[in-house]
Structure 1
Amino acid sequence: MASSTASEADALNPGAPLFIYALRQVTEAAALAACKWIGRGDKNRGDAAAVDAMRTALDRLPFSGTVVIGEGEKDEAPQLAKGLHVGGLSDGPQYDIAVDPVEGTTFLANGQTNAMAVLALAPRGAMFDPGPAFYMEKFAAPAAARGAIEPDWPTARKLRTLSDILGKPVGKLTVFVLEKPRHRRLVEEIHAAGARVALYPAGDVAGAIVAASPDPSIDALMGTGGTPEGIITACAIRALGGAFMGRLDPQLPSEQIAVRDAGLDTRTWLPLEQLVQSSDVLFCATGITTGLLFDGVEKTDNLSRTQTLMISGLTGERQLLTTTRPYAAEATEEAPHA
């Protein structure tokens, strides 16, 4: 009995490889709470349901964490705001937490693909603090591209170099880009270079992870997206060993002023090792709607089914876990019309 208890304690230690199986309960709880709002046109209530579920699940885990990348001012979700302490312990080793209870809130509201609940965990002080910067320009690619592509190169040169690295003609490269007005020129440059573009309205966490993985469907990610998603992505790609870099790229005038007043550098590209200063990272994401990485939540009268991607920098393992559970266990959840 004593050995069993010790084994269970080890599994719930963030420094142990099995802790990721406890951590997945957090993203699965958020996904199950949010899925009731798929296609209902109310992204705020869907996000709020996921935030509440994620906060509750985090506080049940026996660890001590501080939210470094959270919801906060931009999302008006103080339950998971930056600086919040989470976890069931107040002492012991400290960890940074990056969370996005619903990555792709518009996808959720419109019933579209790639909505997910996601979080990452790293030793305290390891995650880059972007301050008031909401947006970041990003570049992601497979591991072979690490250190081989300069961020200030023209798009065509980046793609030619990536083509040489991957041994794949430029005409067969596919670049994930968010479908935003700010990316019109980027898309034109990619097409002019001869490569393909995969446009998605949101979901650049999924796009970057696929780009950094040995997956032939996406060869790179380029363009500007959310900074929180950028730090979370950096954690996942640090664990995967892929290529990633980012540059703070404020979009709104109020954000530009706040970033300037905070003394943050918007010209320099930050390498992966500066965005996440430890390889001892854990990443979990659970699909809410089906997308590039996994299936979304499926429910019947009696069962719910989730898929969760778990990546561990501790072991280098990447696992896709499908879980089926009795739906009766969720009977106390608030109905969408309540």
Structure 2
Amino acid sequence: MSVIRSEHSAASLVTYGLRLATEAAARAAYEWIGRGDKNQGDQAAISAMHAELQKLGINGVVVIGEGSEAEVGELFNGERFGDPATPAEFDIAVDPVEGTSYLAKGMTNAMAVVGMAPRGTMFQPGPAFYMEKFAAAPAVKGKIDPAAPTEEKLRLLSQILDKPISDLNIYVLEKPRHRDLVERLHRAGARVALYPAGDVAGALMAAIPESGIDALMGTGGVPEGILSACAIRAMGGEFMARLDPQLATEKSAVEAAGMDMRRWYQLEELVRSDQVFFCATGITTGLLFEGVERTRTHEKTETLMIGGPLAERQLLTTFHRRAPTA
């Protein structure tokens, strides 16, 4: 019993520290909701998250960041945080604003996200920017071949979840590349929940039983895929991914790196440890939680925290005191 309590306490401390980073990013991005400038909003969140991660007492390196050191000044791939002498080393994945277009347009589902796992356990995507993904609830784990035709996936989902195909609701990003996928889902009789961005939210909803989303299908960003894998590895569920370049230059770079674009990676290959931590804070209200709300004296945030091998998730509401204005 004492070992369980010890693991629980350690996981809680790590996730509690990480949530400060996502909450800071969300609060900074709040100023840019609906202002039509996704880059300014993203940069505000990046700087706020960077400042909080610097305060964490960890030995961590960003493996899924905002780009190379030559491209960005903060949260770049390879950037280190904390004390190198600290024995526990971590991989860090960040997305200060998941859904920058949501933020700029004042739409739902924008969030700030961080994932963390022991050093060397997160999948290294190399030059890949996009991956095809499949996410579903724990009951689906190991029972569906992600390379199977869409219709076969729906048939198996229907059997496993014990609901007719006509009741299945599949989360898909609303992109031109998914036109055929959406048509096949509709022809098979399934419902489709289309969103212009936000596949982290979609993957998490798919992994949570009775959430209203039965699966996520389609191609999205690699960073969002690894962050989704962190969350689902921590709380339980099915998640698999395949590198799926969308441009000829990306495809050439992936081929030159010797990476197999036909291979589907299992969840345990994407994050090779159950000592994984995940935090996401709502910027705009969405499927998972409320967005930032501001009064004259406080800002309210909602943060989803998932930590460690206990597969627990918590939803934390925090009232942050605002600095007085002149």
Using the size of structure 1 for normalisation, the TM-score is: 0.91
The answer on whether the counterparts of 1:172 and 1:196 sit within 8 Å (CA) in structure 2 is yes
The correspondence of residues 1-20 of structure 1 with structure 2, limited to 5 A, is: 15-20=10-15
Is the partner of 1:208 in helix, strand or coil?
helix
**Mapped pair 1:42 → 2:31:** no
The match for 2:28 is: 33
Structure 2 CA distance for partners of 1:132 and 1:105, relative to 1, 3 Å:
same
Q: CA deviation at 1:73?
A: 4.5
The match for 2:214 is: 219
The answer on whether the counterparts of 1:17 and 1:315 sit within 8 Å (CA) in structure 2 is no
**Partner of residue 67 from structure 1, selected from 56, 62, 66:** 62
The answer on whether the counterparts of 1:140 and 1:208 sit within 8 Å (CA) in structure 2 is yes
- The letter of the residue matching 2:310 is T
- The letter of the residue matching 1:108 is L
Separation in 1 of the partners of 2:70 and 2:224?
13
Structure 2 CA distance for partners of 1:270 and 1:74, relative to 1, 3 Å:
farther
The correspondence of residues 68-217 of structure 1 with structure 2, limited to 5 A, is: 68-73=63-68, 76-88=71-83, 90-217=85-212
The answer on whether the counterparts of 2:170 and 2:216 sit within 8 Å (CA) in structure 1 is yes
Is the partner of 2:109 in helix, strand or coil?
coil
The match for 2:270 is: 275
> What percentage of aligned pairs have identical amino acids?
61
**Partner of residue 256 from structure 1, selected from 223, 227, 251:** 251
Separation in 2 of the partners of 1:257 and 1:78?
27
The match for 2:318 is: 323
Separation in 1 of the partners of 2:69 and 2:107?
22
Structure 2 CA distance for partners of 1:247 and 1:239, relative to 1, 3 Å:
same
Q: CA deviation at 1:22?
A: 1.5
Using the size of structure 2 for normalisation, the TM-score is: 0.94
Separation in 2 of the partners of 1:101 and 1:177?
22
Encode CA deviations 1:241-271: one digit per residue, 9 max, x unaligned. 1001000001012211111111111110000
- The letter of the residue matching 1:131 is G
Extract unaligned runs of 5+ from structure 2. Answer: 1-5
- The letter of the residue matching 1:147 is G
Separation in 2 of the partners of 1:164 and 1:122?
34
Structure 2 CA distance for partners of 1:278 and 1:23, relative to 1, 3 Å:
same
- The letter of the residue matching 2:82 is G
Q: CA deviation at 1:29?
A: 0.5
Count of aligned pairs: 320
The answer on whether the counterparts of 1:280 and 1:312 sit within 8 Å (CA) in structure 2 is yes
- The letter of the residue matching 2:109 is N
Encode CA deviations 1:147-177: one digit per residue, 9 max, x unaligned. 1000111101100100100011110000000
**Mapped pair 1:298 → 2:293:** yes
Separation in 1 of the partners of 2:159 and 2:69?
40
- The letter of the residue matching 1:314 is P
The answer on whether the counterparts of 2:11 and 2:307 sit within 8 Å (CA) in structure 1 is no
Structure 1 vs Structure 2 CA RMSD: 1.8
**Mapped pair 1:246 → 2:241:** yes
Choose 175-184 or 75-84, whichever is displaced more. 75-84
Encode CA deviations 1:172-212: one digit per residue, 9 max, x unaligned. 00000000000000001101111000000000000000100
Structure 2 CA distance for partners of 1:250 and 1:73, relative to 1, 3 Å:
farther
Q: CA deviation at 1:19?
A: 2.0
Separation in 2 of the partners of 1:175 and 1:198?
6
- The letter of the residue matching 1:121 is M
The answer on whether the counterparts of 1:174 and 1:198 sit within 8 Å (CA) in structure 2 is yes
